[in-house]
Chains A and B, each alone.
Chain A
Protein backbone atom coordinates (compact mmCIF):
# COMPACT_ATOMS: atom_id res chain seq x y z
CA UNK A 1 0.00 0.00 0.00
CA UNK A 2 1.14 3.49 -0.72
CA UNK A 3 1.95 5.86 2.12
CA UNK A 4 -1.02 7.82 3.37
CA UNK A 5 -0.32 11.56 3.20
CA UNK A 6 -0.05 13.49 6.47
CA UNK A 7 -2.77 15.92 5.47
CA UNK A 8 -5.64 15.59 3.01
CA UNK A 9 -6.62 19.25 3.05
CA UNK A 10 -5.42 22.65 4.31
CA UNK A 11 -7.02 24.27 7.34
CA UNK A 12 -7.32 27.84 6.06
CA UNK A 13 -8.50 30.95 7.86
CA UNK A 14 -11.72 32.24 6.34
CA UNK A 15 -11.35 35.04 3.80
CA UNK A 16 -13.62 38.08 3.91
CA UNK A 17 -15.91 36.76 1.22
CA UNK A 18 -16.61 34.04 -1.35
CA UNK A 19 -18.72 33.54 -4.46
CA UNK A 20 -20.49 30.67 -2.72
CA UNK A 21 -20.59 29.74 0.97
CA UNK A 22 -21.86 26.27 1.86
CA UNK A 23 -23.03 25.85 5.45
CA UNK A 24 -22.40 22.31 6.63
CA UNK A 25 -19.28 20.22 6.03
CA UNK A 26 -20.90 16.81 5.84
CA UNK A 27 -21.01 14.54 2.83
CA UNK A 28 -23.50 16.65 0.90
CA UNK A 29 -21.73 19.94 1.61
CA UNK A 30 -18.35 18.53 0.62
CA UNK A 31 -19.71 16.90 -2.54
CA UNK A 32 -21.44 20.15 -3.46
CA UNK A 33 -18.19 22.08 -3.04
CA UNK A 34 -16.29 19.54 -5.14
CA UNK A 35 -18.79 19.63 -8.02
CA UNK A 36 -19.00 23.45 -7.88
CA UNK A 37 -15.27 23.52 -8.53
CA UNK A 38 -15.00 20.50 -10.84
CA UNK A 39 -18.16 20.88 -12.96
CA UNK A 40 -18.71 24.62 -12.90
CA UNK A 41 -15.24 26.11 -12.40
CA UNK A 42 -16.45 28.00 -9.32
CA UNK A 43 -13.51 27.71 -6.93
CA UNK A 44 -13.95 30.77 -4.74
CA UNK A 45 -15.99 28.64 -2.36
CA UNK A 46 -15.99 28.02 1.38
CA UNK A 47 -17.52 25.15 3.32
CA UNK A 48 -18.26 26.23 6.90
CA UNK A 49 -18.49 23.43 9.45
CA UNK A 50 -19.27 24.13 13.09
CA UNK A 51 -17.61 20.91 14.27
CA UNK A 52 -15.22 18.84 12.21
CA UNK A 53 -15.70 17.63 8.64
CA UNK A 54 -18.16 14.77 8.21
CA UNK A 55 -18.68 14.32 11.96
CA UNK A 56 -22.48 14.33 11.90
CA UNK A 57 -24.68 11.91 10.01
CA UNK A 58 -21.85 11.20 7.56
CA UNK A 59 -20.04 9.48 10.45
CA UNK A 60 -23.17 7.77 11.76
CA UNK A 61 -24.98 6.22 8.80
CA UNK A 62 -25.06 2.56 7.81
CA UNK A 63 -23.53 3.23 4.35
CA UNK A 64 -26.21 1.52 2.25
CA UNK A 65 -26.33 2.64 -1.38
CA UNK A 66 -29.23 1.76 -3.70
CA UNK A 67 -31.52 3.45 -6.19
CA UNK A 68 -34.62 1.23 -6.23
CA UNK A 69 -37.12 3.97 -5.42
CA UNK A 70 -40.70 3.88 -6.64
CA UNK A 71 -41.42 7.21 -8.29
CA UNK A 72 -39.79 8.57 -11.45
CA UNK A 73 -38.37 11.66 -9.71
CA UNK A 74 -36.67 9.63 -6.98
CA UNK A 75 -35.44 6.86 -9.26
CA UNK A 76 -33.86 9.52 -11.49
CA UNK A 77 -31.87 11.28 -8.79
CA UNK A 78 -30.88 8.16 -6.82
CA UNK A 79 -29.90 6.32 -10.02
CA UNK A 80 -27.81 9.32 -11.04
CA UNK A 81 -26.12 8.98 -7.65
CA UNK A 82 -25.53 5.25 -8.15
CA UNK A 83 -23.94 5.86 -11.56
CA UNK A 84 -21.67 8.48 -9.96
CA UNK A 85 -20.80 6.04 -7.14
CA UNK A 86 -19.70 3.51 -9.78
CA UNK A 87 -17.01 5.90 -11.01
CA UNK A 88 -16.27 7.78 -7.81
CA UNK A 89 -13.09 6.01 -6.63
CA UNK A 90 -11.50 6.69 -10.02
CA UNK A 91 -12.77 10.26 -10.29
CA UNK A 92 -11.62 11.23 -6.79
CA UNK A 93 -8.47 9.09 -6.98
CA UNK A 94 -9.27 7.56 -3.59
CA UNK A 95 -10.56 4.07 -2.83
CA UNK A 96 -13.99 4.50 -1.25
CA UNK A 97 -14.41 0.69 -0.97
CA UNK A 98 -17.63 0.74 -2.98
CA UNK A 99 -18.90 -2.83 -2.92
CA UNK A 100 -21.86 -3.65 -5.19
CA UNK A 101 -22.91 -6.72 -3.26
CA UNK A 102 -26.65 -6.34 -3.84
CA UNK A 103 -29.52 -5.23 -1.60
CA UNK A 104 -32.48 -7.44 -0.75
CA UNK A 105 -35.74 -5.88 0.42
CA UNK A 106 -37.66 -8.76 1.99
CA UNK A 107 -41.41 -9.29 1.71
CA UNK A 108 -43.22 -10.99 4.59
CA UNK A 109 -46.88 -10.34 3.72
CA UNK A 110 -48.98 -10.46 0.56
CA UNK A 111 -49.07 -6.67 0.58
CA UNK A 112 -45.25 -6.62 0.79
CA UNK A 113 -45.19 -8.94 -2.23
CA UNK A 114 -47.53 -6.69 -4.21
CA UNK A 115 -45.59 -3.57 -3.24
CA UNK A 116 -42.25 -5.24 -4.02
CA UNK A 117 -43.23 -6.58 -7.44
CA UNK A 118 -44.77 -3.23 -8.32
CA UNK A 119 -41.51 -1.51 -7.37
CA UNK A 120 -39.45 -3.99 -9.43
CA UNK A 121 -41.58 -3.16 -12.47
CA UNK A 122 -41.38 0.58 -11.80
CA UNK A 123 -37.58 0.32 -11.40
CA UNK A 124 -37.17 -1.56 -14.68
CA UNK A 125 -39.23 1.01 -16.55
CA UNK A 126 -36.84 3.64 -15.16
CA UNK A 127 -33.74 1.69 -16.18
CA UNK A 128 -32.91 0.72 -12.59
CA UNK A 129 -31.74 -2.88 -12.20
CA UNK A 130 -34.28 -4.86 -10.20
CA UNK A 131 -35.32 -8.48 -9.83
CA UNK A 132 -37.97 -10.33 -7.90
CA UNK A 133 -36.65 -13.37 -6.01
CA UNK A 134 -38.75 -16.18 -4.57
CA UNK A 135 -37.77 -17.60 -1.16
CA UNK A 136 -35.49 -20.28 -2.66
CA UNK A 137 -33.66 -17.64 -4.67
CA UNK A 138 -33.38 -15.47 -1.55
CA UNK A 139 -31.83 -18.45 0.23
CA UNK A 140 -29.30 -18.92 -2.56
CA UNK A 141 -28.40 -15.23 -2.70
CA UNK A 142 -28.09 -14.86 1.07
CA UNK A 143 -27.74 -18.24 2.77
CA UNK A 144 -27.79 -16.80 6.32
CA UNK A 145 -31.36 -15.50 5.97
CA UNK A 146 -33.90 -17.81 7.57
CA UNK A 147 -36.35 -18.63 4.78
CA UNK A 148 -38.16 -21.37 6.69
CA UNK A 149 -41.95 -21.15 6.22
CA UNK A 150 -42.28 -22.12 9.87
CA UNK A 151 -41.57 -18.74 11.48
CA UNK A 152 -43.78 -15.89 12.62
CA UNK A 153 -43.11 -13.74 9.53
CA UNK A 154 -41.91 -16.09 6.77
CA UNK A 155 -39.97 -14.64 3.84
CA UNK A 156 -42.35 -14.68 0.87
CA UNK A 157 -39.87 -13.16 -1.56
CA UNK A 158 -37.63 -10.15 -2.01
CA UNK A 159 -36.65 -7.42 -4.39
CA UNK A 160 -33.00 -7.50 -5.39
CA UNK A 161 -31.00 -4.62 -6.76
CA UNK A 162 -27.70 -6.27 -7.78
CA UNK A 163 -25.83 -2.97 -8.34
CA UNK A 164 -26.65 -1.70 -4.85
CA UNK A 165 -24.24 -2.12 -1.97
CA UNK A 166 -22.14 -0.28 0.60
CA UNK A 167 -19.14 2.07 0.67
CA UNK A 168 -16.75 3.32 3.37
CA UNK A 169 -18.37 6.54 4.57
CA UNK A 170 -15.23 8.17 5.99
CA UNK A 171 -13.31 7.55 2.78
CA UNK A 172 -16.12 9.16 0.79
CA UNK A 173 -15.97 12.31 2.90
CA UNK A 174 -12.18 12.46 2.85
CA UNK A 175 -12.07 11.89 -0.91
CA UNK A 176 -14.51 14.72 -1.65
CA UNK A 177 -12.80 17.00 0.88
CA UNK A 178 -9.31 16.39 -0.51
CA UNK A 179 -10.33 17.02 -4.12
CA UNK A 180 -12.39 20.09 -3.25
CA UNK A 181 -9.43 21.47 -1.32
CA UNK A 182 -7.07 20.74 -4.22
CA UNK A 183 -9.37 22.73 -6.51
CA UNK A 184 -9.18 25.73 -4.19
CA UNK A 185 -12.20 25.34 -1.93
CA UNK A 186 -11.63 26.54 1.66
CA UNK A 187 -12.81 23.92 4.15
CA UNK A 188 -13.22 25.82 7.42
CA UNK A 189 -13.81 23.75 10.54
CA UNK A 190 -14.90 25.06 13.92
CA UNK A 191 -16.87 27.79 12.16
CA UNK A 192 -20.48 28.07 13.29
CA UNK A 193 -22.96 30.23 11.42
CA UNK A 194 -24.80 32.40 13.96
CA UNK A 195 -26.80 34.60 11.59
CA UNK A 196 -27.26 35.80 8.04
CA UNK A 197 -26.19 39.14 6.57
CA UNK A 198 -29.08 40.51 4.56
CA UNK A 199 -29.83 43.45 2.28
CA UNK A 200 -33.58 43.62 2.06
CA UNK A 201 -34.73 40.12 1.17
CA UNK A 202 -31.32 39.11 -0.16
CA UNK A 203 -28.64 37.20 1.72
CA UNK A 204 -25.19 38.71 1.22
CA UNK A 205 -23.23 36.68 3.73
CA UNK A 206 -23.16 34.94 7.08
CA UNK A 207 -22.26 35.87 10.63
CA UNK A 208 -20.00 33.30 12.26
CA UNK A 209 -18.04 32.79 15.46
CA UNK A 210 -14.99 33.66 13.33
CA UNK A 211 -16.54 36.91 12.13
CA UNK A 212 -18.69 37.92 9.16
CA UNK A 213 -18.13 36.26 5.77
CA UNK A 214 -19.64 37.83 2.64
CA UNK A 215 -21.15 35.55 0.02
CA UNK A 216 -22.69 35.84 -3.42
CA UNK A 217 -24.82 32.83 -2.66
CA UNK A 218 -25.34 30.72 0.44
CA UNK A 219 -26.22 27.05 0.32
CA UNK A 220 -27.44 25.36 3.48
CA UNK A 221 -26.54 21.67 3.89
CA UNK A 222 -27.06 21.21 7.61
CA UNK A 223 -29.10 17.96 7.75
CA UNK A 224 -30.63 17.54 11.22
CA UNK A 225 -29.94 21.17 12.11
CA UNK A 226 -31.53 22.61 8.96
CA UNK A 227 -34.54 24.03 10.85
CA UNK A 228 -32.29 25.75 13.39
CA UNK A 229 -30.09 27.23 10.65
CA UNK A 230 -32.97 28.30 8.40
CA UNK A 231 -34.76 29.96 11.32
CA UNK A 232 -31.82 32.41 11.50
CA UNK A 233 -33.06 33.68 8.13
CA UNK A 234 -36.72 33.50 9.22
CA UNK A 235 -37.33 30.53 6.92
CA UNK A 236 -39.56 27.73 8.23
CA UNK A 237 -38.95 24.31 6.72
CA UNK A 238 -41.35 21.34 6.60
CA UNK A 239 -38.90 19.09 8.42
CA UNK A 240 -38.82 17.50 11.86
CA UNK A 241 -35.58 16.34 13.48
CA UNK A 242 -35.53 12.85 14.97
CA UNK A 243 -32.92 10.50 16.42
CA UNK A 244 -31.94 7.60 14.16
CA UNK A 245 -29.96 4.88 15.87
CA UNK A 246 -27.62 2.20 14.57
CA UNK A 247 -25.33 -0.41 16.07
CA UNK A 248 -22.43 -2.70 15.24
CA UNK A 249 -21.33 -6.10 16.53
CA UNK A 250 -17.78 -7.16 17.21
CA UNK A 251 -15.67 -8.12 14.19
CA UNK A 252 -16.73 -11.43 12.68
CA UNK A 253 -15.50 -13.59 9.82
CA UNK A 254 -17.27 -12.80 6.52
CA UNK A 255 -20.67 -14.45 6.87
CA UNK A 256 -23.22 -12.05 5.37
CA UNK A 257 -22.71 -11.54 1.63
CA UNK A 258 -25.11 -8.69 0.84
CA UNK A 259 -27.41 -6.08 2.40
CA UNK A 260 -30.78 -7.24 3.76
CA UNK A 261 -33.58 -4.84 4.58
CA UNK A 262 -37.00 -5.71 5.94
CA UNK A 263 -39.80 -3.21 6.32
CA UNK A 264 -42.04 -5.66 8.05
CA UNK A 265 -39.86 -7.04 10.82
CA UNK A 266 -38.09 -3.69 10.81
CA UNK A 267 -34.34 -3.95 10.52
CA UNK A 268 -31.56 -3.71 7.96
CA UNK A 269 -28.29 -5.59 8.21
CA UNK A 270 -25.02 -5.67 6.33
CA UNK A 271 -21.47 -6.66 7.20
CA UNK A 272 -18.85 -3.95 6.98
CA UNK A 273 -15.53 -4.52 5.23
CA UNK A 274 -13.76 -4.88 8.57
CA UNK A 275 -16.24 -7.55 9.67
CA UNK A 276 -18.70 -5.95 12.06
CA UNK A 277 -22.40 -6.49 11.48
CA UNK A 278 -24.03 -3.11 10.92
CA UNK A 279 -27.70 -2.78 11.82
CA UNK A 280 -30.25 -0.04 11.83
CA UNK A 281 -33.99 0.44 11.89
CA UNK A 282 -36.49 3.28 12.08
CA UNK A 283 -36.32 6.64 13.78
CA UNK A 284 -37.25 7.28 17.39
CA UNK A 285 -40.73 8.81 17.22
CA UNK A 286 -40.12 12.10 19.04
CA UNK A 287 -38.33 15.26 17.93
CA UNK A 288 -34.79 15.46 19.24
CA UNK A 289 -31.39 17.02 18.73
CA UNK A 290 -29.72 14.75 21.28
CA UNK A 291 -27.83 12.35 18.92
CA UNK A 292 -29.07 9.47 21.05
CA UNK A 293 -32.29 7.55 21.29
CA UNK A 294 -34.20 5.10 23.47
CA UNK A 295 -32.80 1.65 24.17
CA UNK A 296 -36.03 -0.21 23.40
CA UNK A 297 -35.61 0.82 19.75
CA UNK A 298 -32.26 -1.00 19.72
CA UNK A 299 -33.80 -4.03 21.46
CA UNK A 300 -36.56 -4.20 18.85
CA UNK A 301 -34.18 -4.03 15.91
CA UNK A 302 -31.99 -6.77 17.39
CA UNK A 303 -35.07 -8.94 17.96
CA UNK A 304 -35.97 -8.39 14.30
CA UNK A 305 -32.42 -9.23 13.22
CA UNK A 306 -32.53 -12.51 15.14
CA UNK A 307 -35.84 -13.42 13.53
CA UNK A 308 -34.19 -13.08 10.12
CA UNK A 309 -30.69 -14.30 11.02
CA UNK A 310 -30.76 -16.97 13.78
CA UNK A 311 -27.01 -17.43 13.15
CA UNK A 312 -26.37 -14.02 14.77
CA UNK A 313 -27.71 -15.15 18.15
CA UNK A 314 -24.22 -15.31 19.69
CA UNK A 315 -23.01 -11.98 18.30
CA UNK A 316 -22.59 -9.08 20.72
CA UNK A 317 -23.44 -5.44 20.49
CA UNK A 318 -20.16 -3.56 20.43
CA UNK A 319 -21.44 -0.03 20.04
CA UNK A 320 -24.68 1.89 19.47
CA UNK A 321 -25.07 5.50 18.47
CA UNK A 322 -27.55 7.99 17.12
CA UNK A 323 -27.67 10.77 14.59
CA UNK A 324 -30.22 13.51 14.00
CA UNK A 325 -32.17 13.11 10.79
CA UNK A 326 -34.35 15.76 9.17
CA UNK A 327 -37.57 14.09 8.09
CA UNK A 328 -40.03 15.56 5.58
CA UNK A 329 -43.74 14.76 5.29
CA UNK A 330 -43.22 12.74 2.08
CA UNK A 331 -39.87 11.08 2.91
CA UNK A 332 -38.24 12.94 0.01
CA UNK A 333 -35.56 15.59 0.19
CA UNK A 334 -35.81 19.35 -0.36
CA UNK A 335 -33.32 20.97 -2.76
CA UNK A 336 -33.76 24.42 -4.17
CA UNK A 337 -34.40 28.09 -3.48
CA UNK A 338 -35.89 29.51 -0.29
CA UNK A 339 -38.16 32.57 0.00
CA UNK A 340 -34.96 34.56 0.72
CA UNK A 341 -32.99 35.62 -2.37
CA UNK A 342 -29.61 33.93 -2.89
CA UNK A 343 -30.28 31.54 -0.01
CA UNK A 344 -30.69 27.89 -1.01
CA UNK A 345 -31.54 24.77 0.94
CA UNK A 346 -30.57 21.13 0.66
CA UNK A 347 -32.16 19.12 3.46
CA UNK A 348 -34.84 16.61 4.33
CA UNK A 349 -32.86 13.54 3.26
CA UNK A 350 -34.11 12.00 6.48
CA UNK A 351 -32.87 8.50 7.03
CA UNK A 352 -31.34 8.02 3.59
CA UNK A 353 -28.98 10.81 2.64
CA UNK A 354 -25.72 8.88 2.38
CA UNK A 355 -26.63 6.99 -0.80
CA UNK A 356 -27.54 10.26 -2.51
CA UNK A 357 -24.33 12.09 -1.62
CA UNK A 358 -22.83 12.41 -5.14
CA UNK A 359 -26.13 13.30 -6.87
CA UNK A 360 -27.12 15.67 -4.10
CA UNK A 361 -23.80 17.46 -4.52
CA UNK A 362 -23.97 17.31 -8.34
CA UNK A 363 -27.44 18.85 -8.59
CA UNK A 364 -27.05 21.29 -5.68
CA UNK A 365 -23.81 22.55 -7.23
CA UNK A 366 -25.72 23.19 -10.46
CA UNK A 367 -28.36 25.12 -8.53
CA UNK A 368 -25.79 27.15 -6.60
CA UNK A 369 -23.78 27.86 -9.77
CA UNK A 370 -26.70 28.91 -11.96
CA UNK A 371 -29.35 29.97 -9.46
CA UNK A 372 -31.68 27.54 -11.24
CA UNK A 373 -32.96 24.05 -10.62
CA UNK A 374 -31.20 21.07 -12.14
CA UNK A 375 -33.68 18.81 -14.00
CA UNK A 376 -33.04 16.14 -11.36
CA UNK A 377 -33.73 18.35 -8.33
CA UNK A 378 -36.53 20.48 -9.80
CA UNK A 379 -39.32 18.21 -8.48
CA UNK A 380 -37.77 18.37 -4.99
CA UNK A 381 -38.19 22.12 -4.50
CA UNK A 382 -39.79 23.56 -1.39
CA UNK A 383 -42.83 24.67 -3.39
CA UNK A 384 -44.16 21.13 -3.65
CA UNK A 385 -45.56 21.62 -0.15
CA UNK A 386 -47.75 24.38 -1.61
CA UNK A 387 -48.64 22.78 -4.94
CA UNK A 388 -49.26 19.38 -3.33
CA UNK A 389 -47.00 17.61 -5.84
CA UNK A 390 -45.50 15.43 -3.11
CA UNK A 391 -43.13 12.57 -3.90
CA UNK A 392 -44.30 9.96 -1.43
CA UNK A 393 -41.46 7.51 -0.90
CA UNK A 394 -42.53 6.06 2.45
CA UNK A 395 -42.69 2.62 0.82
CA UNK A 396 -39.38 2.64 -1.04
CA UNK A 397 -37.74 4.55 1.77
CA UNK A 398 -38.11 1.21 3.54
CA UNK A 399 -37.63 0.67 7.24
CA UNK A 400 -35.34 3.63 6.91
CA UNK A 401 -33.75 4.47 3.60
Chain B
Protein backbone atom coordinates (compact mmCIF):
# COMPACT_ATOMS: atom_id res chain seq x y z
CA UNK B 1 0.00 0.00 0.00
CA UNK B 2 1.23 3.47 -0.84
CA UNK B 3 1.81 5.96 1.96
CA UNK B 4 0.71 9.24 0.43
CA UNK B 5 1.66 12.66 1.79
CA UNK B 6 -1.47 14.81 1.97
CA UNK B 7 -0.24 18.40 2.20
CA UNK B 8 -2.91 19.12 4.84
CA UNK B 9 -3.06 15.87 6.88
CA UNK B 10 0.40 14.36 6.40
CA UNK B 11 1.20 10.76 5.47
CA UNK B 12 -1.91 8.61 5.15
CA UNK B 13 -2.76 5.16 3.75
CA UNK B 14 -3.58 4.91 0.06
CA UNK B 15 -7.08 3.60 0.92
CA UNK B 16 -8.05 7.14 2.03
CA UNK B 17 -7.35 8.58 -1.43
CA UNK B 18 -8.75 8.64 -4.92
CA UNK B 19 -6.49 8.75 -7.92
CA UNK B 20 -6.79 11.59 -10.43
CA UNK B 21 -4.26 10.71 -13.13
CA UNK B 22 -1.83 13.06 -14.82
CA UNK B 23 -1.44 16.51 -13.26
CA UNK B 24 -1.36 19.75 -15.21
CA UNK B 25 -3.88 19.01 -17.96
CA UNK B 26 -5.80 22.29 -18.35
CA UNK B 27 -9.23 22.56 -19.92
CA UNK B 28 -8.74 24.01 -23.42
CA UNK B 29 -9.05 27.77 -23.42
CA UNK B 30 -11.15 27.83 -26.59
CA UNK B 31 -12.68 24.36 -26.89
CA UNK B 32 -14.91 25.34 -29.82
CA UNK B 33 -11.80 26.10 -31.87
CA UNK B 34 -10.21 22.67 -31.37
CA UNK B 35 -9.97 20.22 -34.24
CA UNK B 36 -11.41 16.74 -33.72
CA UNK B 37 -7.86 15.42 -33.37
CA UNK B 38 -6.99 17.95 -30.65
CA UNK B 39 -10.26 17.41 -28.80
CA UNK B 40 -9.70 13.64 -28.91
CA UNK B 41 -6.18 14.13 -27.59
CA UNK B 42 -7.46 16.32 -24.75
CA UNK B 43 -10.18 13.83 -23.80
CA UNK B 44 -8.36 10.53 -24.16
CA UNK B 45 -4.59 10.83 -24.32
CA UNK B 46 -2.46 11.25 -21.21
CA UNK B 47 1.22 10.73 -20.51
CA UNK B 48 2.05 7.21 -19.35
CA UNK B 49 5.73 7.38 -18.44
CA UNK B 50 7.89 4.64 -16.99
CA UNK B 51 9.62 6.66 -14.30
CA UNK B 52 8.74 10.00 -12.75
CA UNK B 53 5.10 11.04 -13.13
CA UNK B 54 3.37 14.13 -11.77
CA UNK B 55 -0.11 13.02 -10.78
CA UNK B 56 -3.26 14.15 -8.94
CA UNK B 57 -4.66 12.58 -5.79
CA UNK B 58 -7.69 13.51 -3.71
CA UNK B 59 -7.79 12.83 0.03
CA UNK B 60 -11.39 11.75 -0.39
CA UNK B 61 -11.77 9.95 2.95
CA UNK B 62 -9.98 12.76 4.82
CA UNK B 63 -9.81 16.47 4.19
CA UNK B 64 -10.99 16.07 0.55
CA UNK B 65 -8.15 18.22 -0.74
CA UNK B 66 -6.84 17.71 -4.30
CA UNK B 67 -3.06 17.91 -4.70
CA UNK B 68 -0.20 16.79 -6.93
CA UNK B 69 2.77 14.58 -6.16
CA UNK B 70 5.63 13.25 -8.26
CA UNK B 71 5.91 9.45 -8.02
CA UNK B 72 8.23 7.02 -9.75
CA UNK B 73 5.98 4.53 -11.59
CA UNK B 74 8.57 1.74 -11.30
CA UNK B 75 9.72 2.04 -7.68
CA UNK B 76 6.58 3.80 -6.33
CA UNK B 77 8.92 6.21 -4.56
CA UNK B 78 7.19 9.54 -4.00
CA UNK B 79 9.79 12.09 -5.00
CA UNK B 80 7.89 15.22 -3.97
Contacts and interface: CB of A to CB of B under 8 A. Distances in A.
Q: DSSP majority for the A interface?
A: loop
Given A285-B19, A385-B40, A386-B37, A290 B75 contact: yes
B21 A240 contact: yes
Contacts of B79: none
A50 to B, nearest CB: 13
A225 B1 contact: no
A387 interface: yes
Contact of B1 (A227, A237, A288, A294): A294
Given A287-B53, A296-B14, A385-B40, A237 B45 contact: yes
Contacts of A329: 43-44
A387 B15 CA distance: 37
Nearest to B18: A285
Contact of A289 (B2, B40, B74): B74
Contact of B36 (A239, A288, A290, A387): A387
Given A294-B2, A294-B14, A286 B48 contact: no
A296 B48 contact: no
A236 interface: yes
B80 interface: no
A241 interface: yes
Interface in B28-80: 36-37, 40-41, 43-46, 48-50, 53, 55, 71, 73-76
Q: Nearest 7 pairs between A and B by C-beta? A: A227-B48, A285-B19, A238-B44, A386-B40, A294-B1, A385-B44, A289-B50
Given A227-B49, A236-B45, A287-B48, 6 more contacts: A287-B53, A287-B55, A288-B76, A290-B74, A290-B76, A295-B1
Interface of B: 1-2, 13-15, 18-19, 21, 36-37, 40-41, 43-46, 48-50, 53, 55, 71, 73-76
5 contacts: A241-B48, A288-B73, A290-B75, A386-B40, A388-B40
